[in-house]
Amino acid sequence: MLSGVRVLDMATLAAAPLAATYLGEFGADVIKVEQPQGGDAIRGWGVQRDGVGLMWKSLGRNKRSVTVDLRTTDGQQLVRDLAARCDVVIANTRPQTLRTWGLDYASLAADHPQLVMLHVTGYGLSGPKSDRPGFGTLGEAMSGFAHLTGEADRPPTLPPFMLADGVASLNAAYAIMMALYHRDVHGGGGQLIDINLVDPLARLLEQSLLTYDQTGTIPHRSGNRWDISAPRNTYRTKDDRWLALSASAPSIAQRVFRAIGRDDLATDPDFADAQRRLGRAREVDSIVADWVSQQTLAEAMRVFELGEIAAAPVYDVSDLIDDEQMAARGVFVRIDDDELQSMLVQAPVPRFSQHTGIVDALGPTLGQHTDEILGEVLDLAPARIAELRANRVI
């Protein structure tokens, strides 16, 4: 689908490189620029096996790694030359640093006005915090997510995974595609895309904004309950498992009542009416929790499935891998790898009727494709490449 699109990924860690990963899954040629000493920090982040970073192996899929020291004049020129031969450049270095290196959008677009550049930062390219460093954790805190997550009498809760980075990467990937569409279909030029780690996640927490603006109320933590829907929670079963249930649609709540033998509640105005039911949400929650606690997970799920109720078991990762629905859709694929022999990874998520996402290879070793890229893309002679290596530019 994206064959012929070349992407220069000179970002590090998660949000920006993950946007490049999505493009590579559908055919874009992604060139990963890394510092010769250590490379992308994601290589050393998280769980390692035999010194190999597992997250890097997945996030670096389908990319070609070239090492260039961006702190050297020759290295900066190499990257400018590579950018001039790419459709998209992806960066997350602080704005002032990119300007110093001559690798900011204004500098690159002067030579390549058709260039689409994604610049992911902690706070955005404008505003008083624009040059501050930022990580996903700060986005999860400032967006309102942590404030709303957790039990009412417990501290704000941060997610144990890359939530802000992941949400930002999805916004970034579709923004790149819109910019390419504008350029290639409508005949527009290139442009700069400004994505930060706060705004995309805050957009998903819009209910808080709307509630505060129109009612003056600031929503607070309520555990797994949600003050716009009841019942909605996680419930412990007799065999010490958990299931999640959501009755966001009014008809689902009445099905729940009937399924658990409480037909009286399905016709009681205080429980049948969606708005009045919210006033008795804790009572509703207690009734459902009590019924679930007397069933095994299998028994409860059987009743809810027969009643066409939106419920699901709370899975750990082994449960998820073993689920028949995941297997039927090929959600996980095992990929051979020279360093790890093989690894099970998430398959590309979007499903198209005409195309299939690919995982050709897991993340390469540092600088694995340096000679290949410099020779193929920049047409550098082997002697020049050897000179750059001797001077520690690559």
At a CB cut-off of 8 Å and minimum separation 6, what does 101 contact? Answer: 70, 71, 76, 93
DSSP 121: E
Please give the domain boundaries of the chain with CATH numbers for all domains: 6-203+329-390 (3.40.50.10540), 232-236+242-313 (3.30.1540.10)
Asked if residue 231 has a cis previous peptide bond (ω within 30° of 0), the answer is yes
Q: How confident is the model at residue 70 (pLDDT cuts 50, 70, 90)?
A: very high
Rounded distance between C-alpha atoms, residue 289 and residue 251, angstroms: 19
Q: Which of 165, 290, 316, 371 is catalytic?
A: 165
pLDDT digits (tens, 9 = 90+) for 309-365: 999 999 999 999 999 999 999 999 999 999 999 999 999 999 999 999 999 999 999
Contacts of 329 (CB under 8 A, 6+ apart): 351
pLDDT confidence bin for 133, thresholds 50/70/90: confident
Note the pLDDT of residue 269.
86
Task: Report in angstroms the alpha-carbon separations of 158 from 108, 140, 151.
Answer: 37, 7, 12
Residue 248 pLDDT level (bands cut at 50, 70, 90): confident
Which residue blocks in the chain are alpha helix, DSSP H? 15-24, 54-59, 73-83, 95-101, 105-111, 136-142, 145-148, 163-184, 199-204, 206-215, 250-259, 263-267, 269-272, 274-278, 281-293, 297-306, 317-322, 324-329, 370-376, 382-390
Place of tokens 């805050």: 202
Q: Which tens digits make up the pLDDT trace of 162-198?
A: 999 999 999 999 999 999 999 999 999 999 999 999 9
What are the angstrom distances between the C-alpha of 135 and each of 57, 121, 132, 192, 366? 21, 8, 10, 21, 24
User: Is 165 an active-site residue?
Assistant: yes
**Count of CB atoms situated within 10 Å of the CB of 266:** 15
* CA separation for the pair 321, 315 (Å, rounded): 9
Q: Half-sphere exposure of residue 315, counting CA atoms within 13 Å on the CB side?
A: 11
This prediction has a pTM of 0.92
